[in-house]
Structure 1
Amino acid sequence: MTNAMTAAPARNLLIDTLRAFALIGVYMVHMFEQYEIYWAAPQQNLTHTIFTTFFMGKAFSLLTLCFGLSFFLLMEKADQRGVDFSKRFAWRMVVLAFIGLVHSLVYRGDILMVLAPLGLVLIPYHRASNQMILGVAAVLLAQPGLLFQLAGALSGEPWANQPPHHYGDTGPVFYRTAPLGQMLVWNVWQGQSFKWWFFLETGRLFQILALFMVGLRLGRAGFFDNPDRFKAERRAALTALAAIAIACHLGVGPLQSLAPDAATAPMARKLIGTLLGGWFDVSLMGVYVLLIVELYTGPFRKALDRLAPMGRMTLTFYVLQSLIWVPIFYGFGLGAWKWLPQSTALWLGVGFLVLQGIVATLWFKRFHYGPLEWVWRAATYRTTKVPFVR
């Protein structure tokens, strides 16, 4: 094991900042959702509209984009050393899946168990042509499975108009009162099955794979290494993505009105909403990324750099947030879903983010990695010689 493999890597602060924004967005959505309990009795108020429109799905999409980018960085650095990182990356995904498995016992919405197995799909694409990568991403983003089901639903096909399995999810109600032991057991199978059905039936699995490819392609192009080199392209892309996002958001209602009603084709209008909602999430996430890059390359770089330490501890903070807040909201703990107003929970979430930012800044003055980041890297290389303390 060479020192080059285990040494702390050089950091791209823009990428770390993007990871921080992904972490912040995912966490605030979790606080809004009371870690899923909110969906037992959602309320159509302004807060609901703001979070479902501007945050839900977008922060998650950014996280998956960063995952694909991280894959490229790991594989590229290994290539520069003349090392094939494919098998070690596969093992790295096994380790991540194990971390996710443990985390999912507490919070079944854990995303690590989804990202890890899908991450294996990236390996053969490391040396694929740019045309193939973008072509596969485009096909996946088009959601051919949902389009096929929509065509069947519009034609009145019974199979296409069956309600999705994840519609029967009883988790949000269950978590209100379930004792700890029952919750842990339920999360092993029922909780995970509903989650995977949701990712499959809404096209999220294919969206994840597509954004993996986009992150890989952006990394290969050096987009985040020298964003000023792409100033004209990214501003054109910003305009195009904003137009797509607006069209998807405003077009849902008119397109749904053209479809048969629920009595004739129960799933047709829902599938239109799912399709356009997914495209809206991805395009608006792209707008966010390009706006962050625009600000970062302007006068706000020093301010945004303050978020980079949080981005370096994404894994640690992601798991820690659940370990702290799930027992606060859930019935086996404090049952705060009953007595903590949503607005108060969101302000507490903001305060907790500020605390995480301070902790991360102080942490990296002393250490090379976050705690779980170090464990993940050490397990990846199967050695404890990965530097930790500075």
Structure 2
Amino acid sequence: MLLFIALANTHYFLRGPSVLGGYPHAGSAVDAAVTWLLATFVDGRAFPMFGLLFGYGVAQIARRQRERGARGVRRLLWRRSAALVTVGLTDALLFFVGDILAAYGVLLFLGVWLIRWKDRWLLVFAVAFLALNALPSGDASTISREPADPSMLPPDLSAMLTHRVPVALFIAALGPIGFLAPFAVGLWAGRRRILEQPERHRRALTVAAVAGLGAAVLGAQPIALLLAGIIEEPGQQTLAWLASLHGTTGTLGGLGYAALISLLAVRLAGRRRPIVDAIAATGQRSMTFYLMQSMTWAVVFTPFLLDLSGTLTVLGTALLAAATWAAGVVIADRMRRAGWRGPFEVLVRRVTYGRREVQAT
């Protein structure tokens, strides 16, 4: 997930004489191929997987609290929501304005009302919001011709704060709309412990993986081929529908990725290896290394720092994203071996549960 999020974010920093959907045109054939790969397998596919896992985690928290006989699950989740919003907005203002942690904090603040819903209504709700998001809206993240603006690449500290505040608040307020469907599915799946017990749900997970990823790949092709410069740009109305198709099938792809990874876990059960352990350690510290990515983008792309947004290509940013993720995996594995938890995971857990709970675990 963290690798895909890094790949999805970095190309939006690039500048060029002609930009479409965050990808500069007139690049090399290799850049075009990388653009096609990212638009097909990553863009709009990573964040729905994040939404599903987020809802799944909320279901786990609620179940554990009930098993303990504890009350006040809603207040506990609201404290977690406040921590996410605070960390997310800080990240958005200082490092990466496209941060989504604050949006997930707002999603959790609203989503706590769903934890008592019956399974049937969760699925109806998810389908309804998926259908709502399928309506064409001129999704700027996919079809915009605008290059990175001052909120992404501020010329100085004053401009950074001035431009980022409204953008960060806008993303935090409206971002949850696009994540409600996978969040509700995650709540439903978490109640059944589907991802934790994949051997008991192998058939359903196989169907979800094949259907979800198949739909995501096919639904991405019009936009992916357009961004790669292989086909001509259609009219604005057609383009809006194609962008909607890309986003809607991306949600299905996010669910498919989660199912595929869960099936892979069955294969890996009982034969853990160093690489698997290192990636698992990264997942256990996912917020810390997500924020490390934001700090990396700030250093590399900010005009008054390294200012490489006009130098790197699509291939260059993809390699940077992969290298940043790989470095995080190495660091996380060393932290695992040393018995160190992620500092931001400790912070959020302390806000959510209190000091005693953190020390006990």
Fold conserved (TM > 0.5)? yes
Q: Quote how far apart the aligned CAs of 1:382 are.
A: 3.9
Q: 1:385 to 1:239 in 2, by over 3 A?
A: closer
2:264 aligns with 295
Q: Quote how far apart the aligned CAs of 1:233 are.
A: 2.1
1:7 aligns with none
1:121 aligns with 110
Q: Quote how far apart the aligned CAs of 1:328 are.
A: 1.5
Query: RMSD of the TM alignment (CA)?
Result: 3.1
1:8 aligns with none
Q: 1:360 to 1:172 in 2, by over 3 A?
A: same
Q: 1:236 to 1:195 in 2, by over 3 A?
A: closer
Counterpart residue type for residue 272 of structure 2:
K
Report if the CA contact (8 A) 1:141-1:206 is conserved: no
| 2:42 paired with 1:34 | no
Distance of 2:22 and 2:197 partners within structure 1: 46
1:5-52: per-residue Cα shift (whole Å, max 9, x none)? xxxxxxxxxxxxxxxxx1111012223333899766622722211111
1:141 aligns with 130
Counterpart residue type for residue 125 of structure 2:
V
Pairing partner for 1:172 from 112, 123, 148: 148
Q: 1:34 to 1:367 in 2, by over 3 A?
A: farther
Normalising to structure 1: TM-score of the pair? 0.76
1:65-104: per-residue Cα shift (whole Å, max 9, x none)? 1110111111111111111211111121011101111111
| 2:2 paired with 1:23 | yes
Distance of 2:357 and 2:213 partners within structure 1: 47
2:181 aligns with 210
1:226 aligns with 197
Q: Quote how far apart the aligned CAs of 1:193 are.
A: 5.9
Counterpart residue type for residue 43 of structure 1:
H
Q: Quote how far apart the aligned CAs of 1:116 are.
A: 0.7
SS at match of 1:83: coil
Normalising to structure 2: TM-score of the pair? 0.82
Report if the CA contact (8 A) 1:136-1:210 is conserved: yes
Q: Quote how far apart the aligned CAs of 1:187 are.
A: 0.5
| 2:292 paired with 1:320 | yes
Q: 1:317 to 1:165 in 2, by over 3 A?
A: closer
Matches within 5 A, 1:252-331: 262=235, 266=236, 268-299=237-268, 302-303=272-273, 304-331=276-303
Pairing partner for 1:95 from 75, 83, 94: 83
Which of these two proteins has the greater Rg computed from alpha carbons?
Answer: 1
Matches within 5 A, 1:189-200: 189=166, 191-192=167-168, 195=171, 200=174
Q: Which moved more, 1:73-82 or 1:231-240?
A: 231-240
- Any unmatched runs of 5+ in structure 1? 1-21, 151-159, 254-260
Identity of aligned residues (%): 23
Q: 1:195 to 1:363 in 2, by over 3 A?
A: same
1:251-297: per-residue Cα shift (whole Å, max 9, x none)? 889xxxxxxx84xxx5x323312321122202222332222222221
